[in-house]
Structure formats: structure tokens, C-alpha cells
Amino acid sequence: QSVLTQPPSVSAAPGQMVTISCSGSGSNIGKNYVSWYQQLPGAAPKVLIYDSTMRPSGIPDRFSGSKSGTSATLGITGLQTGDEADYYCATWDSSLSVVVFGGGTKVTVL
């Protein structure tokens, strides 16, 4: 049972948009920045979003992050087959004093 809750899976057709939610509490998302990671099949994870809304250099603007209260959201527009992957949110939990990850969301391009 993860501290951060993500939907197990989302899907959409190529070119469409998907959003992935990450729900937490006042001690984690409510107090701290969120980062998002993409893990392609058989590969190591890669950072997509940091500081809840910022994209590292090289990450296309099809990927976006937002945060409101105790929830964060990753958006992917113009969905491509290469976006099929697992996506994870992460943040610091100030009560537990640990880094917490969401359980992961599998994105399928129909």
C-alpha cells in the first residue's frame, strides 16, 4: 500500500491526452514539491517533472505537471506509442521523514 495513490492504468489513442493523478496528504504533497518519473519497459526511470511543474532540459512540453492541495497531476498531450511506460510520482513525507513514491501508473496507447 503506497503512501501516494495513483491509478493503476490509463489509456488513450495516439494524439490524445491523458492525465495521471497522484493523491497524498498534508504531510507529503501538501507540504512538498512533487517529481514525476517515466520508466520505459526494461529501462531505468527518467525524471520528467521536478518542483511539481518544471521540466528538465530535453523533456518535451507535451509533458506537464501541476499541484493543488494534496494532489498532483501529470499530463501528457499528443500521446505517442513511445509514451507507453510506467509513470511514478514522488515526494518527501515530512511526518515519516522518508521519500515516498506512488504505486505507478501504466500508460497504454490504444
Partner 1 sequence: EVQLMESGGGLVQPGRSLRLSCTASGFNFGDDAMSWVRQAPGKGLEWVGSIKKKVHGGATEYAASVEGRFTISKDVSKAIAYLQMNSLETEDTGMYYCIRVGYGSSWYFDNWGQGTLVTVSS
Residue 42 Cα distances to 3, 61, 98, angstroms: 25, 24, 27
Record the cell numbers describing residue 83, joined without a space: 509514451
**Per-residue mark of binding to partner 1, 71-110 (x: CB under 8 A):** ---------------x-x-x-x---xxxxxxxxx------
Q: Which of 10, 19, 25, 33 binds partner 1 (CB under 8 A)?
A: 33
d(CA 18, CA 99): 26
Residues lying near partner 1 in the complex (CB under 8 A): 2, 32-33, 35, 37, 39, 44-47, 50-51, 54, 56, 86, 88, 90, 92, 96-104
